Copies of this chain bind each other. A is one copy, B any other.
Amino acid sequence: KCTQTRRLYGGMVYQHGGDERSVVIELNSPKKRAHTVTVLFILTCVLVYVTLLEETPQDTTYNTKRGIVASILVFLCFGVTQAKDGPFTRPHPAYWRFWLCVSVVYELFLIFVLFQTVRDGRQFMKYIDPKLGVALPERDYGGNCLIYDPGNTTDPWHNIWDKMDGFVPAHFLGWYIKTLVIRDWWMCMIISVMFEFLEYSLEHQLPNFSECWWDHWIMDVLVCNGLGIYAGMKTLGWLSMKPYQWQGLWNIPTYKGKIKRMAFQFTPYSWVKFEWKPASNLRRWLAVLGIIFMFLLAELNTFYLKFVLWMPPEHYLVLLRLVFFVNVGGVAMREIYDFMDDPKFYRKLGQQAWLVAAITVTEFLIVVKYDPRTIMLPIPFFVTQCWFLGIVLILSWTLWRFFIREVGVGARLCLFSYVAVVCRWCHHHPPPYLLWIQNGSMFSSTESIHLMMRVVFGSAVSYYYPLPVFLFCFLTSHSGLCLFSLSDCSSIRKGFDQ
């Protein structure tokens, strides 16, 4: 009556024969105890001791801090014992529940910081570490890029040795872990190369993005990232080949076997090979693009966030954030994969993926709010053109692959005539984003952000209701209304007419 279809979350998925409802079976080991009551009892004892038997200090600031820390600890106690389990079970589900709760706390902290004024927010960091809240000194990132420097007689290769610092193993280790998270060679390489492009594009904003060409392409992409990805792929191969037969520690007879089993507790319970297959349908394609976008955004946030919050790069909070992302990133990626892989079973985006997305977005919003000037430094014309070309290429391929290739000849003719009409119209009435690109400043004022949002909204509407939008655009194109912004843009037109 029940037939097993696939393994999942350390349990099994069964499918009822003629029944359309999907059925998830969790196998609970009878030996595991949750210690919910024990944790509650210990918590109560600690609270009684700290609040009733110890003298309360009279310092309000200190008490406020202590109250907040205590609230966070109680939340962690609750979460570690009671939160919903994620996909990972090794070394212990409580470990992953702990990181889930840490993400909640981190996200709430970010939201709080986001709602402060810039000055207050930076000073607020003083509560965490009194050394923070001080403007960072300007650093000089200039330097010459000669691989062989004949001017330096003692060691002409000194430029290369200078780059061989702690960042080389850090890059290697980082990409090793990222490969284990993404589990796909192509996506890793694309992200690795894209990030170097981003560094090129944004070095006018953050000076520490400026590196020598051989530092970008040879040291970073080839040596550090490349070796990290290679080692990661080898490990992935081992993990997917490894037999996953688990038996309890107490059932293993030999002493050596027991030790081995204890070490293996830190390897996964089972392994899912990710097959992203981005070109298989539009949903997967957009999802893969979204994942790459969010990944790059999270990487940029590392640099921008410490810049706007005045964090020295060697501060322990910067390192903690990376440790945090290493732990939650793997869970989030697995949950996104499950969400994409089997929409019938997983109608919910996993909790950790939800939180990581929210955290990345909130971090970015903090960056935008705290230092709009740096973010909106006009992008050099050359860089804008390159990105525009890239986006157009991706869009055209998307259109070709998922819309045009699928439809018949008549519909293709229709589409081409639509594009021709739009192009003709654009030639006479350029829509605002073309104007921005021509002017070389995409984010020149709050007004253009407003318009930008209308464009995004308009595109979304036109995706879901293409025919009405097409008709609307066609009918109103001669009366001078904007094509995508779906509202009057007289100010833009005025600017154009002048």
Contacts and interface: CB of A to CB of B under 8 A. Distances in A.
A171 to B, nearest CB: 31
A22 B32 CA distance: 12
B1 A453 contact: no
Interface in A5-52: 14, 20-30, 32-34, 36-37, 40, 43-44, 47-48, 50-52
B34 A347 contact: yes
A20 B24 contact: no
Contact of A112 (B23, B70, B368): B70
B344 A74 contact: no
A111 to B, nearest CB: 5
A269 to B, nearest CB: 15
B449 A66 contact: no
Contacts of A33: 347
A58 B358 contact: no
Interface stretch (A77-85, A130-138, A222-230): A77-85
A239 interface: no
Nearest to A48: B365
Contacts of A357: 40
Interface stretch (A115-123, A246-254, A300-308, A483-491): A115-123
A401 interface: no
Nearest to A72: B108
A51 B21 contact: no
Contacts of A109: 71
B115 A70 contact: yes
Interface stretch (A256-264, A318-326, A348-356, A469-477): A348-356
A44 B50 CA distance: 39
A407 interface: no
Given A58-B117, A112-B70, A355-B78, A52 B21 contact: no
A365 B37 CA distance: 19
A16 to B, nearest CB: 9
A369 interface: yes
A84 B81 contact: no
A104 B109 CA distance: 16
A48 B104 contact: no
Contacts of A51: 114-115, 365, 369
Contacts of A75: 104, 108
Interface string A71-109: 100110010011110000000000000000000100111
A117 B61 CA distance: 11
A166 B1 CA distance: 58
Contacts of A369: 51-52, 56
B37 A349 contact: yes
A23 B26 contact: yes
A242 interface: no
A190 interface: no
B21 A28 contact: yes
A485 to B, nearest CB: 16
A450 interface: yes
Contacts of A362: 47
A63 interface: yes
A30 B40 contact: no
A446 interface: yes
Nearest to A366: B51
A60 interface: yes
Interface string A404-444: 00000000000000000000000000000000000000000
A194 B114 CA distance: 51
Contacts of A24: 25-26, 28
A380 interface: no
Contact of A358 (B1, B23, B30, B40): B40
A144 interface: no
A361 interface: yes
Contacts of A467: none
The residue in A23, A51, A52, A82 that gathers the most chain B C-beta atoms within 10 A of its C-beta is A82
Interface of A: 1-2, 14, 20-30, 32-34, 36-37, 40, 43-44, 47-48, 50-53, 56-58, 60, 63-64, 66-68, 70-71, 74-75, 78, 81-84, 104, 107-109, 111-118, 120, 344, 347-349, 351, 354-355, 357-358, 361-362, 365, 368-369, 446, 449-450, 453
5 contacts: A48-B365, A51-B114, A52-B369, A71-B111, A78-B354
Given A47-B111, A56-B115, A81-B348, 10 more contacts: A1-B2, A23-B28, A40-B354, A40-B357, A63-B120, A64-B116, A67-B115, A71-B109, A74-B358, A82-B84
The 3 A-B residue pairs with the shortest CB-CB distance, nearest first, are A67-B115, A67-B112, A84-B84
